[in-house]
Structure formats: C-alpha cells, structure tokens
Amino acid sequence: MDVSHETASVYLLARFGSLWRLGVIEHPRHGGWMVPGGHLQRGERPPQAAVRETVEETGYRPRLLRPAGHSMPPDYPHAPARPANATVGGTAWWVVGIPAGPDGQHPQRHLHIDHIHVAVADRPYGPTTPRAHPFRWVTARELEPLDAPVDTRILGRALLDTVPATVTARRPSPARDDELRRELLRRRDADQAFRNNLPRTIDEETAARWAEIDEGNTAWLRQVIDQVGWPGRALCGENGADAAWLLAQHADRQPQLQEAWVELLAEAVTAGDAEPRHLAYLEDRIAVHACKGKQWFGTQHRPAPGGGYEPFPIHDPGGVDHRRAEQGLEPLSEATKRINGTNT
C-alpha cells in the first residue's frame, strides 16, 4: 500500500482489587470492541495523540507506561513498521503496520503506522470526563470471546499477563522507615482515642480540639508526602500505611489535599504498595464531602430518618457488593449493621 497514516493506540489497563482488566470501546463505524486510538493530528506527537484519544473515547486520562522491552506475542498478526518521521518520543511500546479500510482520512484502503502505547488508569472508579463511545472493562477471560479484532485479543491477553508485574517492579522500593512508622501509629492512636470518646453533644471546646487534632495531622502528613511521596507498605509497613490512610481520610478540612493525595494513593494501589480498600474509602469520602455525586462503594454513612445510619447515595446500587468484594470489603448490609451497632 502506497498511502500510510500515523496513528496511536492505547492498551489501557486498570487494577480492581487483585484483578486486572483492559479497557475497550465500541467503535461507532467498524462495530465490535477495540482499544482507544486514532490518527495523529497536525503537529501532534504519538504520546500526545495517545492521551487525547484515550480521554476523548473513554473518559479516562491514562498514565502512559515507559516501554518495558517486552517482545510481541509470536502470534501477533502485524509486522513491525518504521515511523514516517521521528515522532516516536520514546513512549510507544511497539510500532506496527496495520492494513486499514477507507476512513475519514483516506477514501481507499491504506496502511496505519500504529504507535502502540500501554497505560494504566489508576482510578477506574474515579471521576471521568464524558466519553465519546460506549466503554467497558474486561478481564482476560472476558476478552477471549469478545467481538474484537484478533490483534486486540492477542496483545490484550499478553499485556494483562505481563503488565501487573511490570508496574509493581517499577515502583521505587525505599528502605523501611521505622521512625516514620512509629509516628504514624502514634498519631493514629491519638486520633482514634479522641474519636472513640466523643460525647453525644459536641460543644465548642470539643469541636475546637477536634479541629486542632485533624489540622495538625493534616499539616504533618502533608510535609511527609511532600518529602517521600505516599507512605506505602514498603516505606512504613502494613500498619504504618494503614495509619497514613486514616489521617488522609480525616483531612476533610483540606479537600484540595485529599484530591491530590488520592491520586498518589491510587498509583500506590496499582503497584501493590497500598490496600485497595483504602482507595475505596478515600474515593467515597471525596465524592460525599465535596458534593460531587454519589459514592461507589458505600463506605460513607449518614444519619437515617428513622434513627441509626444509612449509606449516602450510591452509583449502581445493585453492583455495590461486587465492587466491595473486589476491594476486600464486607457486604454493605453487614457494614451498615456493624456501624449501627457501634454508633461510630
């Protein structure tokens, strides 16, 4: 084929608890499911096109992964290709030639010089922009019978098998900081001791002390995160990481910090350095307290009209227990009973 156009495609993966899924769109012209992607616009480099196409077509902003040096699966049907110009930018994992039929860019059959990128969506339940096409997340098992191009199924299956270990291996593994862990635990214990002994009626003095504790912990945690990033398991152990999440959860007076920290926590969860349930709680906390909409996991409760507590409104209530199970959480009915039993 004499005519060729440069394109960028993105294999977008996300972690749901311990399970990984691939994001696919339903193409409006060709039908079936495929990964997001499209033609490079004038003056655009492949990584820019990869991000733009993913945002437009899926609603997610991808975090592009640096090439990992993996070989193409032996049964992948398309041959390597040389880009028409030096626009690779070091982010494409492979560049291949894919025969294409007539489209909006050319009225006859031609060749796509496709820059294949691999990316992750660290917050698959987080805020998204409006998407141009129907979208879904699929597991490797769901991908196999999907109405999708054979190259998408072959490469998608291979990446679902290899990318999780790649993402985990690339996260820096700092030396354990026991001094930081002890301070996190001290602040967590003081936080819980105060909250567990709150009177039924909060007077001005108690409210002021409450604010002082939370704001002090928030200011301290901000300094820590500015210096070392999110305090995950590798840095401060399981209980230290749990304490860091609790302090972030109680930073409601600084919502802009929670918005920044949830991104760092999500990246740590993707790499296996933080608990998925921590992300579920903080996502819900932000959604409820910032009045941005419904929560996904039902972790946040409010006083019920008839007494006791009930969950704040939930996206897709019928699927909440499935989502909770993926994050390592008990069924919502059991959580609500427990909360009402302890009045906390």
CA 40, chain centre distance (Å)? 26
d(CA 154, CA 145): 12
* pLDDT higher than 80, residue 305: yes
3-state secondary structure 136-196: EEECHHHHCCCCCCHHHHHHHHHHHHHHHHHHHHHCCCCCCCHHHHHHHHHHHHHHHHHHC
Say what the pLDDT of residue 197 is: 94
* 232-255 pLDDT tens trace: 999 999 999 999 999 999 999 999
d(CA 328, CA 226): 29
Q: For 260-285, what is the mean pLDDT?
A: 97
d(CA 92, CA 279): 29
Cα separations in angstroms, 70 against 20, 64, 88, 111, 163: 18, 15, 17, 24, 10
Q: For 41-64, what is the mean pLDDT?
A: 96
Say what the pLDDT of residue 344 is: 38
Domain 4-170's class? alpha beta
3-state secondary structure (DSSP) of residue 285: helix
Q: For 60-64, what is the mean pLDDT?
A: 96
* pLDDT higher than 90, residue 190: yes
Say what the pLDDT of residue 343 is: 40
Residue-averaged pLDDT of the chain: 93
Residue type at position 40: L
* pLDDT higher than 80, residue 327: yes
Q: State the pLDDT confidence band at 86, using cuts at 50, 70 and 90.
A: very low
* pLDDT higher than 80, residue 170: yes
d(CA 246, CA 232): 13
* pLDDT higher than 80, residue 171: yes
Domains of the chain by residue range: 4-170, 178-342
Say what the pLDDT of residue 58 is: 96
Q: What are phi and psi of 12, to 5 degrees?
A: -100, 120
- Determine the Cα angle at 286 with ends 120 and 137, to 5°: 30
Q: For 294-306, what is the mean pLDDT?
A: 95
* pLDDT higher than 90, residue 82: no
